[in-house]
Structure 1
Amino acid sequence: MRWTAGAMMLAMAFPATAAQHAPAAVAVTQKTAALDFSYSYPAVAARIAPLRRWLDADRARLRTRALRGADDDRRERGAGFPFHQHDATRTWKVVTETPRLLSLSGETYRFTGGAHGNTVLEPLVWDKARAARVDPRKMFASPVALQRLWGATWCGKLKAERTRRMQGAPAADDIFPCPPIAELTLLLGSTDGRAIDRIGLIAGQYVAGSYAEGMYEVTLPVTPALLEIVRPEWRRAFAVGR
Protein backbone atom coordinates (compact mmCIF):
# COMPACT_ATOMS: atom_id res chain seq x y z
CA MET A 1 0.00 0.00 0.00
CA ARG A 2 1.34 3.44 -0.92
CA TRP A 3 0.66 6.40 1.33
CA THR A 4 0.52 9.97 0.08
CA ALA A 5 1.93 12.74 2.26
CA GLY A 6 -1.59 14.01 2.92
CA ALA A 7 -2.84 10.61 3.95
CA MET A 8 0.06 10.21 6.40
CA MET A 9 -0.66 13.58 8.00
CA LEU A 10 -4.35 12.73 8.40
CA ALA A 11 -3.47 9.38 9.95
CA MET A 12 -1.29 11.13 12.55
CA ALA A 13 -3.82 13.87 13.23
CA PHE A 14 -6.76 11.51 13.76
CA PRO A 15 -5.79 8.31 15.63
CA ALA A 16 -7.39 5.19 14.19
CA THR A 17 -10.29 3.56 15.98
CA ALA A 18 -10.31 -0.13 16.86
CA ALA A 19 -12.40 -0.84 13.77
CA GLN A 20 -9.90 1.00 11.61
CA HIS A 21 -7.09 -1.12 13.05
CA ALA A 22 -8.78 -4.32 11.85
CA PRO A 23 -7.09 -5.62 8.69
CA ALA A 24 -9.09 -5.11 5.52
CA ALA A 25 -9.46 -7.43 2.59
CA VAL A 26 -6.33 -7.58 0.45
CA ALA A 27 -6.39 -7.08 -3.31
CA VAL A 28 -3.18 -6.69 -5.29
CA THR A 29 -3.04 -5.95 -9.01
CA GLN A 30 0.23 -5.70 -10.92
CA LYS A 31 0.57 -5.33 -14.67
CA THR A 32 3.57 -5.56 -16.99
CA ALA A 33 3.79 -5.87 -20.74
CA ALA A 34 4.06 -9.62 -20.28
CA LEU A 35 1.68 -10.33 -17.39
CA ASP A 36 -1.63 -9.13 -15.96
CA PHE A 37 -1.54 -10.34 -12.34
CA SER A 38 -4.03 -10.08 -9.49
CA TYR A 39 -4.42 -11.75 -6.10
CA SER A 40 -6.97 -11.20 -3.36
CA TYR A 41 -8.17 -12.63 -0.07
CA PRO A 42 -10.89 -11.62 2.43
CA ALA A 43 -10.57 -9.59 5.61
CA VAL A 44 -11.31 -12.59 7.82
CA ALA A 45 -8.14 -14.23 6.47
CA ALA A 46 -6.12 -11.03 6.82
CA ARG A 47 -6.96 -10.92 10.54
CA ILE A 48 -5.14 -14.23 11.16
CA ALA A 49 -1.48 -13.22 11.11
CA PRO A 50 0.13 -16.59 10.20
CA LEU A 51 -2.49 -17.22 7.53
CA ARG A 52 -1.94 -13.73 6.13
CA ARG A 53 1.79 -14.43 5.93
CA TRP A 54 1.14 -17.69 4.07
CA LEU A 55 -1.20 -15.98 1.62
CA ASP A 56 1.28 -13.19 0.97
CA ALA A 57 4.02 -15.76 0.34
CA ASP A 58 1.68 -17.70 -1.93
CA ARG A 59 1.00 -14.50 -3.88
CA ALA A 60 4.74 -13.93 -4.34
CA ARG A 61 5.29 -17.52 -5.49
CA LEU A 62 2.44 -17.38 -8.00
CA ARG A 63 3.57 -14.05 -9.44
CA THR A 64 7.20 -15.17 -9.74
CA ARG A 65 6.24 -18.36 -11.62
CA ALA A 66 3.72 -16.59 -13.85
CA LEU A 67 6.04 -13.69 -14.69
CA ARG A 68 8.95 -16.02 -15.47
CA GLY A 69 6.75 -18.05 -17.80
CA ALA A 70 5.37 -14.94 -19.52
CA ASP A 71 8.82 -13.42 -20.02
CA ASP A 72 10.17 -16.69 -21.41
CA ASP A 73 7.22 -16.99 -23.78
CA ARG A 74 7.69 -13.45 -25.06
CA ARG A 75 11.42 -14.02 -25.71
CA GLU A 76 10.82 -17.29 -27.51
CA ARG A 77 8.15 -15.98 -29.89
CA GLY A 78 9.44 -15.79 -33.44
CA ALA A 79 8.27 -13.97 -36.54
CA GLY A 80 4.67 -14.75 -37.34
CA PHE A 81 3.88 -15.82 -33.78
CA PRO A 82 2.63 -12.74 -31.92
CA PHE A 83 2.91 -12.68 -28.13
CA HIS A 84 -0.30 -12.44 -26.13
CA GLN A 85 -0.09 -11.02 -22.62
CA HIS A 86 -0.40 -13.72 -19.99
CA ASP A 87 -2.93 -13.59 -17.15
CA ALA A 88 -2.63 -14.99 -13.61
CA THR A 89 -5.44 -14.39 -11.12
CA ARG A 90 -6.07 -16.04 -7.76
CA THR A 91 -9.08 -15.12 -5.63
CA TRP A 92 -9.76 -16.56 -2.19
CA LYS A 93 -13.34 -16.49 -0.86
CA VAL A 94 -14.90 -17.60 2.41
CA VAL A 95 -16.87 -20.84 2.26
CA THR A 96 -17.61 -20.86 5.97
CA GLU A 97 -16.14 -20.09 9.38
CA THR A 98 -16.73 -22.06 12.57
CA PRO A 99 -15.17 -21.61 16.01
CA ARG A 100 -12.44 -24.12 15.03
CA LEU A 101 -12.03 -23.75 11.27
CA LEU A 102 -11.90 -21.18 8.50
CA SER A 103 -12.74 -22.71 5.12
CA LEU A 104 -11.74 -20.84 1.97
CA SER A 105 -11.99 -21.63 -1.71
CA GLY A 106 -9.32 -20.39 -4.08
CA GLU A 107 -10.08 -19.87 -7.75
CA THR A 108 -7.02 -19.55 -9.98
CA TYR A 109 -7.27 -18.46 -13.61
CA ARG A 110 -4.25 -18.79 -15.90
CA PHE A 111 -3.92 -17.72 -19.52
CA THR A 112 -0.58 -18.52 -21.09
CA GLY A 113 -1.16 -17.48 -24.69
CA GLY A 114 -3.12 -20.50 -25.94
CA ALA A 115 -6.64 -20.84 -27.28
CA HIS A 116 -8.18 -20.15 -23.87
CA GLY A 117 -7.34 -19.91 -20.21
CA ASN A 118 -7.90 -22.53 -17.51
CA THR A 119 -9.51 -22.23 -14.09
CA VAL A 120 -8.63 -24.37 -11.07
CA LEU A 121 -10.48 -24.47 -7.74
CA GLU A 122 -8.67 -25.45 -4.55
CA PRO A 123 -9.51 -25.55 -0.83
CA LEU A 124 -7.73 -23.89 2.05
CA VAL A 125 -8.78 -24.95 5.55
CA TRP A 126 -7.21 -23.11 8.46
CA ASP A 127 -7.21 -24.69 11.91
CA LYS A 128 -7.36 -21.84 14.41
CA ALA A 129 -6.47 -24.06 17.35
CA ARG A 130 -3.23 -25.28 15.77
CA ALA A 131 -2.54 -22.16 13.68
CA ALA A 132 -1.94 -24.31 10.64
CA ARG A 133 -3.40 -25.29 7.28
CA VAL A 134 -5.19 -28.63 7.06
CA ASP A 135 -5.73 -30.82 4.01
CA PRO A 136 -9.47 -31.59 4.17
CA ARG A 137 -8.82 -35.07 2.80
CA LYS A 138 -6.64 -35.85 5.81
CA MET A 139 -9.65 -35.30 8.07
CA PHE A 140 -11.10 -38.62 6.91
CA ALA A 141 -9.99 -42.20 7.45
CA SER A 142 -8.87 -42.82 3.87
CA PRO A 143 -9.65 -42.09 0.20
CA VAL A 144 -11.02 -45.64 -0.04
CA ALA A 145 -13.49 -44.95 2.78
CA LEU A 146 -14.70 -41.75 1.09
CA GLN A 147 -15.07 -43.50 -2.25
CA ARG A 148 -17.02 -46.35 -0.68
CA LEU A 149 -19.38 -43.92 1.03
CA TRP A 150 -19.85 -41.28 -1.66
CA GLY A 151 -18.82 -42.87 -4.96
CA ALA A 152 -22.22 -44.06 -6.20
CA THR A 153 -24.06 -40.92 -5.05
CA TRP A 154 -21.50 -38.63 -6.66
CA CYS A 155 -21.54 -40.47 -9.98
CA GLY A 156 -25.33 -40.53 -10.09
CA LYS A 157 -25.64 -36.80 -9.47
CA LEU A 158 -22.82 -36.03 -11.91
CA LYS A 159 -24.48 -38.06 -14.68
CA ALA A 160 -27.79 -36.28 -14.12
CA GLU A 161 -26.14 -32.84 -14.28
CA ARG A 162 -24.07 -33.68 -17.36
CA THR A 163 -27.22 -34.93 -19.08
CA ARG A 164 -28.99 -31.68 -18.22
CA ARG A 165 -26.17 -29.47 -19.48
CA MET A 166 -25.61 -31.47 -22.65
CA GLN A 167 -29.37 -31.82 -23.24
CA GLY A 168 -29.01 -35.54 -23.47
CA ALA A 169 -27.07 -38.45 -21.98
CA PRO A 170 -23.35 -38.60 -22.84
CA ALA A 171 -22.66 -40.61 -25.99
CA ALA A 172 -21.26 -44.12 -25.86
CA ASP A 173 -17.85 -42.85 -26.96
CA ASP A 174 -17.71 -40.22 -24.19
CA ILE A 175 -14.10 -40.01 -22.96
CA PHE A 176 -14.94 -38.71 -19.50
CA PRO A 177 -15.75 -41.48 -17.00
CA CYS A 178 -16.99 -40.51 -13.56
CA PRO A 179 -13.87 -39.41 -11.66
CA PRO A 180 -13.21 -40.89 -8.22
CA ILE A 181 -13.60 -38.79 -5.10
CA ALA A 182 -9.81 -38.63 -4.81
CA GLU A 183 -9.69 -36.45 -7.96
CA LEU A 184 -12.23 -33.91 -6.69
CA THR A 185 -11.83 -30.71 -4.72
CA LEU A 186 -13.45 -30.89 -1.28
CA LEU A 187 -14.87 -27.70 0.22
CA LEU A 188 -15.98 -27.79 3.86
CA GLY A 189 -19.20 -25.88 4.52
CA SER A 190 -21.60 -25.09 7.33
CA THR A 191 -25.22 -24.01 7.49
CA ASP A 192 -25.06 -22.59 11.02
CA GLY A 193 -21.47 -21.47 11.59
CA ARG A 194 -21.05 -23.90 14.47
CA ALA A 195 -19.74 -27.05 12.80
CA ILE A 196 -19.02 -28.50 9.37
CA ASP A 197 -22.28 -30.08 8.25
CA ARG A 198 -21.97 -30.17 4.46
CA ILE A 199 -19.23 -30.75 1.94
CA GLY A 200 -18.94 -29.63 -1.66
CA LEU A 201 -17.47 -32.01 -4.22
CA ILE A 202 -16.12 -30.13 -7.24
CA ALA A 203 -14.80 -31.57 -10.48
CA GLY A 204 -12.66 -28.96 -12.22
CA GLN A 205 -12.30 -28.31 -15.91
CA TYR A 206 -11.47 -31.48 -17.87
CA VAL A 207 -11.92 -33.64 -14.75
CA ALA A 208 -15.49 -34.79 -15.50
CA GLY A 209 -16.22 -33.23 -18.86
CA SER A 210 -15.00 -31.05 -21.71
CA TYR A 211 -13.79 -27.47 -21.33
CA ALA A 212 -17.14 -26.20 -22.61
CA GLU A 213 -18.98 -28.07 -19.85
CA GLY A 214 -17.10 -26.20 -17.12
CA MET A 215 -16.90 -27.38 -13.53
CA TYR A 216 -19.32 -29.69 -11.80
CA GLU A 217 -20.30 -29.31 -8.15
CA VAL A 218 -22.36 -31.48 -5.84
CA THR A 219 -22.99 -30.58 -2.20
CA LEU A 220 -23.67 -33.43 0.21
CA PRO A 221 -24.75 -33.21 3.86
CA VAL A 222 -22.66 -34.69 6.63
CA THR A 223 -24.35 -37.93 7.65
CA PRO A 224 -23.86 -40.31 10.58
CA ALA A 225 -22.07 -42.63 8.14
CA LEU A 226 -19.65 -39.86 7.20
CA LEU A 227 -19.03 -39.00 10.86
CA GLU A 228 -17.88 -42.59 11.35
CA ILE A 229 -14.98 -42.09 8.94
CA VAL A 230 -13.95 -38.64 10.24
CA ARG A 231 -10.68 -39.02 12.12
CA PRO A 232 -11.18 -38.82 15.90
CA GLU A 233 -9.20 -35.60 16.31
CA TRP A 234 -11.60 -33.79 13.94
CA ARG A 235 -14.92 -35.35 14.91
CA ARG A 236 -16.01 -32.50 17.18
CA ALA A 237 -15.55 -30.03 14.28
CA PHE A 238 -18.30 -31.85 12.31
CA ALA A 239 -22.03 -32.29 12.83
CA VAL A 240 -24.80 -34.13 11.01
CA GLY A 241 -26.42 -31.87 8.42
CA ARG A 242 -30.04 -31.64 7.47
Structure 2
Amino acid sequence: MRILLFTSLALLAGCSAEKAPAPAPSMEASAQPPAPTAPPAQIPVTAREVHEKNDLYEFDYSYPATAGSIPALKALLDGELEKARRELKAEATEGQKLAQEGGYPFNPYSHSVEWKVVTDLPAWLSMSTLVGFYSGGAHPNYVYDTILWDRIAGKRRAPIDLFTSKAALTESIRAPFCKELDRQRARKREGQNMGDIAEFSECIDPAEQTVILGSSNGKAFDRIGILISPYAAGPYAEGDYEVTVPVTPKVLAAVRPEYRAAFVAR
Protein backbone atom coordinates (compact mmCIF):
# COMPACT_ATOMS: atom_id res chain seq x y z
CA MET A 1 0.00 0.00 0.00
CA ARG A 2 1.38 3.35 -0.92
CA ILE A 3 0.94 6.24 1.49
CA LEU A 4 1.06 9.75 0.09
CA LEU A 5 2.65 12.28 2.38
CA PHE A 6 1.70 15.91 1.93
CA THR A 7 3.90 18.74 3.26
CA SER A 8 2.38 22.16 3.80
CA LEU A 9 4.46 25.25 2.98
CA ALA A 10 4.20 28.33 5.20
CA LEU A 11 4.63 31.69 3.50
CA LEU A 12 6.61 34.16 5.61
CA ALA A 13 5.95 37.88 5.11
CA GLY A 14 6.89 41.18 6.74
CA CYS A 15 10.21 43.06 7.15
CA SER A 16 9.61 44.93 10.43
CA ALA A 17 10.36 43.41 13.83
CA GLU A 18 7.11 44.87 15.10
CA LYS A 19 3.80 43.40 14.05
CA ALA A 20 0.82 45.59 13.30
CA PRO A 21 -2.17 44.72 15.48
CA ALA A 22 -4.70 42.56 13.76
CA PRO A 23 -7.94 44.36 12.90
CA ALA A 24 -10.88 43.51 15.11
CA PRO A 25 -13.42 41.26 13.41
CA SER A 26 -16.57 43.02 12.26
CA MET A 27 -19.96 42.03 13.55
CA GLU A 28 -20.88 40.85 10.11
CA ALA A 29 -17.85 38.56 9.94
CA SER A 30 -18.38 37.18 13.46
CA ALA A 31 -22.00 36.50 12.69
CA GLN A 32 -21.05 34.15 9.89
CA PRO A 33 -20.98 30.46 10.86
CA PRO A 34 -17.53 28.87 10.75
CA ALA A 35 -16.65 27.19 7.51
CA PRO A 36 -17.14 23.42 7.74
CA THR A 37 -13.93 21.47 8.00
CA ALA A 38 -13.29 18.67 5.55
CA PRO A 39 -13.47 15.17 7.06
CA PRO A 40 -10.14 13.38 7.35
CA ALA A 41 -9.21 11.34 4.33
CA GLN A 42 -10.12 7.68 4.69
CA ILE A 43 -7.58 5.07 3.64
CA PRO A 44 -9.48 2.31 1.82
CA VAL A 45 -8.97 -1.23 2.98
CA THR A 46 -7.67 -3.33 0.14
CA ALA A 47 -6.58 -6.88 -0.40
CA ARG A 48 -2.85 -7.51 -0.44
CA GLU A 49 -1.13 -9.36 -3.25
CA VAL A 50 2.62 -9.93 -3.49
CA HIS A 51 4.40 -11.48 -6.46
CA GLU A 52 8.15 -11.90 -6.83
CA LYS A 53 10.02 -13.84 -9.47
CA ASN A 54 13.79 -14.06 -9.98
CA ASP A 55 16.53 -16.60 -10.71
CA LEU A 56 16.25 -18.04 -7.20
CA TYR A 57 12.54 -18.32 -6.54
CA GLU A 58 8.96 -17.39 -7.35
CA PHE A 59 6.88 -16.13 -4.44
CA ASP A 60 3.15 -15.38 -4.32
CA TYR A 61 1.10 -14.42 -1.30
CA SER A 62 -2.33 -12.82 -1.14
CA TYR A 63 -5.27 -12.28 1.16
CA PRO A 64 -8.69 -10.64 0.65
CA ALA A 65 -9.87 -7.23 1.88
CA THR A 66 -12.16 -8.98 4.36
CA ALA A 67 -9.06 -10.12 6.23
CA GLY A 68 -7.20 -6.86 5.67
CA SER A 69 -9.99 -4.94 7.39
CA ILE A 70 -9.18 -6.64 10.72
CA PRO A 71 -5.97 -5.01 12.01
CA ALA A 72 -4.82 -7.91 14.19
CA LEU A 73 -5.50 -10.46 11.45
CA LYS A 74 -3.78 -8.27 8.87
CA ALA A 75 -0.71 -8.05 11.13
CA LEU A 76 -0.71 -11.84 11.53
CA LEU A 77 -0.93 -12.42 7.77
CA ASP A 78 1.72 -9.82 6.98
CA GLY A 79 4.02 -11.49 9.51
CA GLU A 80 3.45 -14.90 7.95
CA LEU A 81 4.07 -13.42 4.50
CA GLU A 82 7.46 -12.01 5.48
CA LYS A 83 8.47 -15.20 7.28
CA ALA A 84 7.55 -17.37 4.29
CA ARG A 85 9.48 -15.08 1.95
CA ARG A 86 12.61 -15.12 4.16
CA GLU A 87 12.55 -18.89 4.47
CA LEU A 88 12.02 -19.40 0.74
CA LYS A 89 14.94 -17.11 -0.09
CA ALA A 90 17.24 -18.89 2.38
CA GLU A 91 16.26 -22.37 1.16
CA ALA A 92 16.57 -21.43 -2.50
CA THR A 93 19.98 -19.86 -1.91
CA GLU A 94 21.19 -23.03 -0.23
CA GLY A 95 19.68 -25.18 -2.98
CA GLN A 96 21.42 -23.17 -5.67
CA LYS A 97 24.73 -23.50 -3.82
CA LEU A 98 24.37 -27.28 -3.55
CA ALA A 99 23.47 -27.52 -7.25
CA GLN A 100 26.59 -25.58 -8.22
CA GLU A 101 28.78 -27.73 -5.99
CA GLY A 102 27.19 -30.94 -7.27
CA GLY A 103 27.29 -29.91 -10.91
CA TYR A 104 23.58 -30.37 -11.61
CA PRO A 105 20.96 -27.88 -12.83
CA PHE A 106 19.18 -25.68 -10.33
CA ASN A 107 15.46 -25.14 -10.76
CA PRO A 108 14.04 -22.09 -9.00
CA TYR A 109 12.07 -22.80 -5.83
CA SER A 110 8.50 -21.58 -5.37
CA HIS A 111 5.98 -20.83 -2.64
CA SER A 112 2.38 -19.69 -3.14
CA VAL A 113 -0.43 -18.84 -0.74
CA GLU A 114 -3.84 -17.47 -1.70
CA TRP A 115 -6.19 -16.99 1.24
CA LYS A 116 -9.89 -17.18 0.38
CA VAL A 117 -12.97 -16.61 2.50
CA VAL A 118 -14.91 -19.76 3.34
CA THR A 119 -17.47 -18.16 5.65
CA ASP A 120 -17.89 -14.62 6.97
CA LEU A 121 -20.10 -14.59 10.06
CA PRO A 122 -20.75 -11.72 12.49
CA ALA A 123 -18.50 -13.32 15.13
CA TRP A 124 -16.23 -15.47 12.96
CA LEU A 125 -14.19 -15.36 9.77
CA SER A 126 -13.24 -18.71 8.27
CA MET A 127 -10.60 -18.83 5.51
CA SER A 128 -8.60 -21.52 3.73
CA THR A 129 -5.72 -21.72 1.31
CA LEU A 130 -3.79 -24.14 -0.81
CA VAL A 131 -0.09 -23.75 0.01
CA GLY A 132 1.90 -24.70 -3.08
CA PHE A 133 5.64 -25.20 -2.96
CA TYR A 134 8.58 -26.56 -4.91
CA SER A 135 12.02 -27.15 -3.41
CA GLY A 136 13.96 -29.09 -6.00
CA GLY A 137 12.15 -32.43 -5.89
CA ALA A 138 10.63 -34.48 -8.66
CA HIS A 139 7.50 -32.32 -8.74
CA PRO A 140 5.76 -29.50 -6.88
CA ASN A 141 3.59 -30.33 -3.90
CA TYR A 142 0.90 -28.62 -1.89
CA VAL A 143 -0.89 -28.76 1.44
CA TYR A 144 -3.91 -27.02 2.91
CA ASP A 145 -4.09 -24.48 5.70
CA THR A 146 -6.90 -22.66 7.45
CA ILE A 147 -7.52 -19.62 9.63
CA LEU A 148 -10.52 -19.36 11.91
CA TRP A 149 -10.63 -15.83 13.29
CA ASP A 150 -12.60 -15.18 16.47
CA ARG A 151 -13.88 -11.62 16.01
CA ILE A 152 -15.04 -11.37 19.64
CA ALA A 153 -11.76 -12.47 21.22
CA GLY A 154 -9.68 -10.93 18.44
CA LYS A 155 -7.53 -14.01 17.94
CA ARG A 156 -6.90 -16.98 15.69
CA ARG A 157 -8.31 -20.33 16.75
CA ALA A 158 -7.85 -23.81 15.36
CA PRO A 159 -11.23 -25.18 14.19
CA ILE A 160 -10.56 -28.36 16.12
CA ASP A 161 -10.37 -26.32 19.34
CA LEU A 162 -14.10 -25.59 19.14
CA PHE A 163 -14.75 -29.28 19.81
CA THR A 164 -14.32 -31.19 23.03
CA SER A 165 -11.54 -33.27 21.44
CA LYS A 166 -10.23 -34.59 18.14
CA ALA A 167 -11.61 -37.99 18.98
CA ALA A 168 -15.07 -36.54 19.64
CA LEU A 169 -15.10 -34.74 16.29
CA THR A 170 -13.90 -37.85 14.45
CA GLU A 171 -16.56 -40.01 16.05
CA SER A 172 -19.31 -37.51 15.17
CA ILE A 173 -18.49 -37.32 11.44
CA ARG A 174 -16.61 -40.54 10.67
CA ALA A 175 -19.47 -42.47 9.04
CA PRO A 176 -20.57 -39.82 6.50
CA PHE A 177 -16.96 -38.77 5.92
CA CYS A 178 -15.75 -42.29 5.09
CA LYS A 179 -18.74 -42.94 2.84
CA GLU A 180 -18.12 -39.78 0.80
CA LEU A 181 -14.35 -40.33 0.66
CA ASP A 182 -14.83 -43.84 -0.73
CA ARG A 183 -17.32 -42.51 -3.28
CA GLN A 184 -14.78 -39.96 -4.51
CA ARG A 185 -11.99 -42.55 -4.53
CA ALA A 186 -14.08 -44.90 -6.67
CA ARG A 187 -14.84 -42.12 -9.15
CA LYS A 188 -11.17 -41.16 -9.50
CA ARG A 189 -9.87 -44.72 -9.69
CA GLU A 190 -12.47 -46.08 -12.09
CA GLY A 191 -12.26 -49.57 -10.63
CA GLN A 192 -8.52 -49.62 -9.98
CA ASN A 193 -7.73 -51.70 -6.87
CA MET A 194 -5.66 -50.07 -4.14
CA GLY A 195 -5.98 -52.95 -1.71
CA ASP A 196 -2.23 -53.52 -1.62
CA ILE A 197 -1.68 -50.02 -0.20
CA ALA A 198 -3.56 -49.89 3.09
CA GLU A 199 -3.48 -46.12 3.58
CA PHE A 200 -4.99 -45.63 0.11
CA SER A 201 -7.84 -48.07 0.62
CA GLU A 202 -8.80 -47.67 4.29
CA CYS A 203 -10.58 -44.67 5.74
CA ILE A 204 -8.44 -41.98 7.34
CA ASP A 205 -8.98 -39.86 10.44
CA PRO A 206 -10.80 -36.70 9.32
CA ALA A 207 -9.68 -34.74 12.40
CA GLU A 208 -6.03 -35.25 11.37
CA GLN A 209 -6.64 -33.44 8.09
CA THR A 210 -7.29 -29.72 7.52
CA VAL A 211 -10.70 -28.98 9.05
CA ILE A 212 -12.62 -25.91 7.93
CA LEU A 213 -15.94 -24.60 9.18
CA GLY A 214 -18.57 -23.38 6.73
CA SER A 215 -22.05 -21.94 6.63
CA SER A 216 -24.86 -22.01 4.10
CA ASN A 217 -27.01 -19.39 5.87
CA GLY A 218 -24.44 -16.74 6.84
CA LYS A 219 -25.53 -16.95 10.47
CA ALA A 220 -23.94 -20.05 12.01
CA PHE A 221 -21.68 -22.97 11.09
CA ASP A 222 -23.78 -25.75 9.60
CA ARG A 223 -21.18 -27.75 7.66
CA ILE A 224 -17.65 -29.02 8.11
CA GLY A 225 -15.12 -29.36 5.34
CA ILE A 226 -12.23 -31.81 5.37
CA LEU A 227 -9.40 -30.84 3.02
CA ILE A 228 -7.06 -33.73 2.22
CA SER A 229 -3.65 -33.15 0.62
CA PRO A 230 -2.03 -35.56 -1.88
CA TYR A 231 -0.65 -38.80 -0.41
CA ALA A 232 -3.00 -38.69 2.61
CA ALA A 233 -5.89 -40.61 1.00
CA GLY A 234 -4.42 -41.61 -2.34
CA PRO A 235 -1.32 -41.41 -4.55
CA TYR A 236 -0.04 -38.07 -5.80
CA ALA A 237 -1.62 -38.66 -9.21
CA GLU A 238 -5.08 -38.58 -7.62
CA GLY A 239 -4.50 -35.10 -6.26
CA ASP A 240 -6.37 -33.79 -3.26
CA TYR A 241 -9.76 -34.68 -1.81
CA GLU A 242 -12.41 -32.38 -0.35
CA VAL A 243 -15.17 -33.87 1.74
CA THR A 244 -18.03 -31.83 3.22
CA VAL A 245 -20.33 -33.17 5.91
CA PRO A 246 -23.30 -31.45 7.60
CA VAL A 247 -23.47 -30.37 11.21
CA THR A 248 -25.86 -32.83 12.84
CA PRO A 249 -27.14 -33.18 16.41
CA LYS A 250 -24.31 -35.70 16.91
CA VAL A 251 -21.79 -33.08 15.81
CA LEU A 252 -23.38 -30.47 18.07
CA ALA A 253 -22.86 -32.80 21.02
CA ALA A 254 -19.13 -32.80 20.26
CA VAL A 255 -18.89 -28.98 20.28
CA ARG A 256 -17.60 -27.32 23.43
CA PRO A 257 -20.49 -25.67 25.33
CA GLU A 258 -19.05 -22.14 25.04
CA TYR A 259 -19.03 -22.39 21.23
CA ARG A 260 -22.28 -24.28 20.68
CA ALA A 261 -24.24 -21.10 19.85
CA ALA A 262 -21.99 -20.65 16.79
CA PHE A 263 -23.32 -23.91 15.27
CA VAL A 264 -26.68 -25.07 13.99
CA ALA A 265 -27.71 -28.58 12.96
CA ARG A 266 -29.03 -29.19 9.44
1:83 is aligned to 106
Pairing 1:194–2:219 present: yes
Pairing 1:104–2:89 present: no
Output the CA distance in 1 between the equivalents of 2:102 and 2:142. Answer: 30
Q: 1:63-212 counterparts in 2 under 5 A?
A: 63-77=85-99, 78-168=101-191, 170-175=193-198, 176=200, 177-212=202-237
1:23-78 deviation line (CA, Å, top 9, x unaligned): 11110112232111110000000000000000000001111111111000001113
Output the CA distance in 2 between the equivalents of 1:171 and 1:108. Answer: 27
Q: 1:148, CA displacement in angstroms?
A: 1.6
Query: Would the aligned equivalents of 1:35 and 1:85 in 2 still touch at CA under 8 Å?
Result: yes
Pairing 1:35–2:57 present: yes
1:235 is aligned to 260
Amino acid at match of 1:157: E
RMSD (Å), alpha carbons: 1.9
Amino acid at match of 1:90: V
Query: Would the aligned equivalents of 1:162 and 1:170 in 2 still touch at CA under 8 Å?
Result: no
1:81-130 deviation line (CA, Å, top 9, x unaligned): 10001111111000011111000002110011221111111110000000
Output the CA distance in 2 between the equivalents of 1:108 and 1:59. Answer: 12
Unmatched runs of 5 consecutive residues or more in structure 2: 7-38
| 1:44 partner SS | helix
1:61 is aligned to 83
User: Normalising by structure 1, what TM-score?
Assistant: 0.90
Amino acid at match of 2:145: E
1:12 is aligned to none
Query: Would the aligned equivalents of 1:104 and 1:124 in 2 still touch at CA under 8 Å?
Result: yes
How many aligned residue pairs are there? 232
Amino acid at match of 2:253: E
Unmatched runs of 5 consecutive residues or more in structure 1: 10-14
1:117-144 deviation line (CA, Å, top 9, x unaligned): 1111111000000000011001001111
Output the CA distance in 1 between the equivalents of 2:151 and 2:193. Answer: 44
| 1:124 partner SS | strand
4+ residue runs over 4 A deviation: 15-18
Query: Would the aligned equivalents of 2:120 and 2:126 in 1 still touch at CA under 8 Å?
Result: yes
Output the CA distance in 2 between the equivalents of 1:88 and 1:171. Answer: 32
| 1:30 partner SS | strand
Q: 1:153, CA displacement in angstroms?
A: 2.1
Share of identical aligned residues, percent? 39
Output the CA distance in 2 between the equivalents of 1:103 and 1:87. Answer: 26
Could you tell which deviates more after superposition, 50-59 or 168-177? 168-177
Q: 1:8, CA displacement in angstroms?
A: 7.0
Output the CA distance in 2 between the equivalents of 1:16 and 1:166. Answer: 61
Amino acid at match of 2:60: S
Output the CA distance in 2 between the equivalents of 1:229 and 1:85. Answer: 45
